[in-house]
């Protein structure tokens, strides 16, 4: 296959300023194409001040001046703009925000300089990293830094400051100082030392102070790169170019390789226009839909062309075997498999755990039947489900997790001292969950992101990690003050930083007087959202109205009613499960009955298995952040399976979907799919290494492009003793 046939219609861009005059050049960069650099025609009057610096932040281009005086105040002019390479003068487009930064914003009010270098204050050194901006004031000894929050305020263009406040306070790097060059690539920052040959690779972690914290991920010396070579990041590549010789090499960054740079993947002569005196800046725009694939089921372009609304409903605390294990008990001959062709991997009465010397086999609660003589409530106590408990449940025998053994799934009763963890519900008892799974699609290879509880697994689903924490912090001061401290960013911050504002969180009940998801995973990250949060938060009844009226946002995140003695809709153990089924059916019916049904994908998943038995051994996984470790656990093992159900008229009936390749789905797969669906380049997510390799599930949409299905079923919720047939509450 030729490089041309592998190339796509999506390009990174390379901006080339000339330090000696106002001319500039623009190139499309396509590493797989026959021509790596393609000049972009500019207007005859295209020009840009060579004293200004620029860099991509999120989905925008930030430009700032050298130090100057405005009203007798030293500082810097800035302009934040959307970069449009199709215009005649892309560097002079309309500003989203523009204004003036006082010098004291970055240097502080109490200190006028950080070294005795007379040229220290002649430039502002800003390094954008994902949705943040790192300010460096380098000196011979102390490398002073401050991490700034980025908020483009795309809904309110004008003169707002896109760096409204520090995210972490000012401090000093122990090893990064004058003469170092910081090159951000994905979740990492390549630190090139003054001699041009030595390097360190840092993990960028916005919740740490400093955000480039020891130990370095890699450090070493290049044998084939020296002070003659310039290095510029472009997407996931490093362009290594020699302006005097007119040559280039293009490298891929691999954090696990001792040299960090692998390749070169391409090399050759620099295009005309790049040479001595050039300053290069890379830019990655949002990825457009490729029309040639938009009619091909199973592709991301098909999903992007057919789906305009994604609804994510994460409920609570059930394993796959426990609630969906008997979906195809009587045979799966009619199933449509996506990803692999292995038979449906459901529950079996052959599976067991030991209760002392007695084997306790998987069984169906009340033979899987409905009745007004009993309640649909298996467990009389909440199973243990912290990480230490999960590991004991998954490894009944030594050497266990610390010996890198395969989980034997034999310790559920041992840990809980409760044989009820082996009981399951049948499809008749949970007809909404199982009905949607059968009429649309379900994955039997979707795992918890971590063997652990609610907060850490939900964190993985919307941030890509557990914040280097174990357990939960959903009460008291830990919960109340959580938004006051810096944390790794969420998918909402990534979307916001790329100009995507069409989303909303719908809650069913307050938790500790707060909206749980907003409190733990969003508040404190986007100042302009915090100042007007009611625009992005609503209750579940509003969601139903929005669905029925055709007013859903592009992305809806739904919360259930959390665990309660009665009335919980979260499926959590400890409460009757009938209200959860009724609530799910109401959500489905609202979407199905609204005008957006054919353009909506409903994703239903569970955050964790909650200490309830599942027979499939979870796999070891990519560590989300290089330096994460807590109580001996390195976040490199998934937790047990949970059901994930996809509902859309573009999904074939009886679909069972799995990920392609060796990495199975976990909750990071939802966030990865969502961001791809929005067209955000993966290299700009900044959500950690697990998220970067998460498989995505666009292949579940397999109905031919000619027309969606017209046979959406009407389902009947279950009943029991406490919630009789025909009762509405």
Q: Give the C-alpha separation, 191 to 172, whole Å.
A: 15
Q: Is position 717 within any domain?
A: no
Closest to 601 (Cα-Cα) out of 706, 692, 699: 699
Last residue of a domain, one of 264, 285, 306: 285
pLDDT higher than threshold 90 for residue 381: no
Sign of torsion over alpha carbons 714, 720, 726, 729: negative
Same domain, 235 and 325: no
Q: Give the C-alpha separation, 575 to 610, whole Å.
A: 14
Res 3: pLDDT: 35
Res 698: pLDDT: 97
Q: Which residues of 65-93 are buried (b: 16+ CB within 10 A; e: fewer)?
A: beeeeeeeeebbbbbbbbbeeeeebbbbe
List pLDDT tens digits, range 204-216. Answer: 999 999 999 999 9
Res 109: pLDDT: 64
Same domain, 254 and 350: no
Tokens representing 520?
């733990």
Largest CA distance in the chain: 86
Res 9: pLDDT: 42
Res 312: pLDDT: 98
List pLDDT tens digits, range 54-67. Answer: 999 999 999 999 99
Q: Is position 226 within any domain?
A: yes
Q: Give me the percent of the chain exceeding a pLDDT of 90.
A: 84
pLDDT higher than threshold 80 for residue 616: yes
pLDDT tier, 139 (very low <50, low <70, confident <90, very high otherwise) = confident
Q: Give me the percent of the chain exceeding a pLDDT of 70.
A: 96
Range 382-398 average pLDDT: 90
Res 378: pLDDT: 87
Same domain, 251 and 375: no
pLDDT higher than threshold 70 for residue 115: no
Alpha-helix runs per DSSP H in 226-341 = 300-306, 320-324
Res 123: pLDDT: 83
Q: What is the CATH classification number for the domain harbouring 642?
A: 3.40.720.10
Contacts by 163-167, CB closer than 8 A, 24 or more apart: 163/101, 163/105, 163/133, 164/527, 164/528, 165/527, 167/132, 167/206, 167/486
Determine whether 272 is exposed, middle or buried from the number of CB atoms within 10 Å of its CB (0-12, 13-18, 19+). Answer: exposed
Range 170-184 average pLDDT: 92
The radius of gyration computed from the CA coordinates of the chain, to the nearest angstrom, equals 27
pLDDT tier, 118 (very low <50, low <70, confident <90, very high otherwise) = low
Same domain, 228 and 301: no
Same domain, 340 and 202: no
How many residues in the chain? 729
| Mean pLDDT over the full length of the chain | 92
Same domain, 536 and 651: yes
Res 6: pLDDT: 34
CA angle 532, 534, 540 (to 5 degrees): 160
Res 10: pLDDT: 60
pLDDT higher than threshold 90 for residue 339: yes
Range 315-319 average pLDDT: 94
pLDDT higher than threshold 60 for residue 236: yes
pLDDT tier, 383 (very low <50, low <70, confident <90, very high otherwise) = confident
Same domain, 201 and 343: no
List pLDDT tens digits, range 669-687. Answer: 999 999 999 999 999 999 9
pLDDT higher than threshold 60 for residue 244: yes
Domain residues for the domain of 515 are 292-700
Tokens 């033979």 locate to 367
Same domain, 227 and 367: no
Res 445: pLDDT: 97
List pLDDT tens digits, range 68-97. Answer: 999 999 999 999 999 999 999 999 999 999
CB 260 within 8 A of CB 199: yes
Same domain, 329 and 237: no
Q: Is the peptide bond before 215 cis (omega within 30 degrees of 0)?
A: yes
Number of domains in the chain: 2
Cβ neighbours of residue 606 under 8 Å, at least 6 residues apart? 314, 315, 316, 317, 318, 571, 642, 643, 644
List pLDDT tens digits, range 449-508. Answer: 999 999 999 999 999 999 999 988 888 999 999 999 999 999 999 999 999 999 999 999
Q: What is the CATH classification number for the domain harbouring 157?
A: 2.120.10
Last residue of a domain, one of 234, 259, 285: 285
Range 397-413 average pLDDT: 94
Same domain, 272 and 313: no
Same domain, 430 and 481: yes
Res 114: pLDDT: 60
Task: Report the 3 state secondary structure along 399-433.
Answer: CCHHHCCCCCCCCHHHHHCCHHHHEECCCCCCHHH
pLDDT higher than threshold 60 for residue 653: yes
HSE-CB for 154 with a 13 A CA cutoff: 14
Res 8: pLDDT: 39
Same domain, 209 and 351: no
3 state SS of 620:
strand
């Amino acid at each position: 296959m030729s490089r041309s046939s592998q190339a796509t219609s999506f390009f990174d861009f390379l901006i080339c300023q000339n330090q000696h005059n106002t001319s500039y050049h623009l190139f499309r960069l396509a590493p797989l194409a026959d021509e790596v650099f393609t000049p972009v025609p500019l207007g005859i009057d295209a020009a840009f001040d060579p004293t200004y610096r620029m860099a991509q932040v999120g989905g925008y281009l930030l430009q700032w001046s050298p130090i100057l005086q405005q009203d007798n105040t030293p500082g810097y002019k800035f302009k934040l703009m959307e970069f449009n390479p199709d215009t005649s003068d892309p560097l002079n487009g309309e500003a989203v925000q523009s204004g003036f930064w006082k010098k004291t914003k970055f240097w502080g009010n109490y200190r006028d300089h950080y070294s005795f270098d007379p040229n220290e204050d002649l430039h502002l050194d800003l390094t954008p990293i994902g949705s943040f901006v790192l300010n460096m004031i380098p000196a011979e000894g102390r490398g002073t830094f401050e991490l700034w929050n980025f908020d483009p305020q795309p809904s309110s263009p004008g003169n707002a400051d896109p760096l409204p406040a520090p995210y972490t306070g000012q401090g000093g790097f122990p090893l990064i100082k004058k003469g170092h060059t910081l090159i951000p690539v994905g979740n990492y920052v390549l630190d090139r030392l003054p001699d041009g040959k030595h390097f360190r690779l840092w993990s960028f972690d916005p919740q740490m102070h400093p955000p480039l914290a020891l130990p370095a991920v890699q450090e070493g010396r290049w044998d084939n790169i020296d002070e003659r070579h310039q290095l510029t990041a472009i997407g996931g590549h490093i362009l290594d170019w020699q302006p005097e010789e007119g040559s280039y090499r293009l490298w891929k960054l691999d954090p696990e390789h001792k040299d960090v740079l692998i390749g070169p993947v391409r090399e050759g002569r620099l295009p005309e226009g790049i040479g001595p005196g050039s300053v290069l800046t890379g830019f990655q725009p949002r990825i457009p839909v490729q029309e040639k694939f938009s009619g091909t089921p199973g592709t991301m372009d098909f999903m992007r062309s057919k789906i305009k609304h994604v609804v994510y409903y994460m409920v609570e605390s059930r394993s796959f075997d426990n609630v969906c294990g008997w979906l195809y008990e009587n045979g799966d001959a009619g199933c449509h498999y996506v990803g692999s062709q292995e038979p449906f991997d459901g529950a079996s009465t052959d599976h067991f755990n030991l209760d002392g010397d007695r084997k306790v086999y998987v069984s169906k609660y009340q033979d899987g039947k409905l009745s007004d003589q009993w309640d649909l409530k298996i467990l009389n106590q909440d199973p243990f489900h912290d990480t230490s408990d999960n590991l004991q449940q998954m490894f009944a025998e030594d050497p266990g997790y610390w010996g890198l053994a395969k989980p034997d799934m034999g310790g559920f009763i041992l840990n809980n001292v409760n044989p009820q963890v082996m009981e399951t519900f049948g499809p008749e008892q949970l007809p909404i969950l199982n009905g949607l799974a059968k009429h649309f699609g379900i994955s039997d290879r979707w795992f918890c992101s971590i063997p652990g509880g609610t907060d850490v697994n939900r964190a993985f689903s919307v941030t890509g990690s557990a914040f280097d924490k174990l357990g939960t912090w959903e009460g008291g001061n830990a919960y109340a003050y959580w938004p006051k401290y810096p944390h790794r960013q969420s998918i909402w911050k990534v979307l916001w930083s790329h100009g995507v504002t069409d989303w909303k969180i719908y809650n069913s009940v307050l938790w500790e007087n707060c909206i749980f998801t907003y409190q733990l995973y969003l508040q404190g990250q986007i100042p302009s959202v915090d100042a007007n949060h009611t625009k992005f938060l609503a209750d579940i009844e509003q969601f139903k109205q929005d669905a029925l009226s055709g007013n859903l946002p592009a992305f809806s995140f739904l919360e259930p009613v959390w665990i309660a003695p009665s009335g919980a809709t979260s499926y959590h153990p400890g409460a009757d499960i009938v209200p959860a089924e009724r609530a799910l059916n109401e959500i489905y019916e609202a979407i199905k009955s609204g005008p957006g049904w054919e353009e909506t994908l409903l994703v239903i998943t569970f955050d964790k298995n909650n200490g309830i038995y599942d027979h499939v051994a979870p796999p070891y996984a990519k560590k989300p952040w290089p330096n994460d470790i807590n109580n001996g656990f390195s976040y490199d093992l998934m937790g047990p399976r949970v059901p994930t159900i996809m509902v859309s008229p573009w999904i074939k009936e009886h679909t069972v979907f799995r990920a392609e390749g060796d990495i199975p789905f976990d909750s990071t797969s939802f966030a990865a799919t969502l961001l791809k669906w929005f067209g955000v380049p993966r290299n700009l997510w900044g959500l950690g290494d697990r998220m970067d390799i998460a498989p995505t599930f666009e292949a579940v949409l397999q109905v031919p492009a000619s027309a969606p299905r017209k046979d959406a079923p009407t389902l009947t919720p279950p009943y029991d003793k406490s919630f009789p047939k025909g009762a509405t509450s």
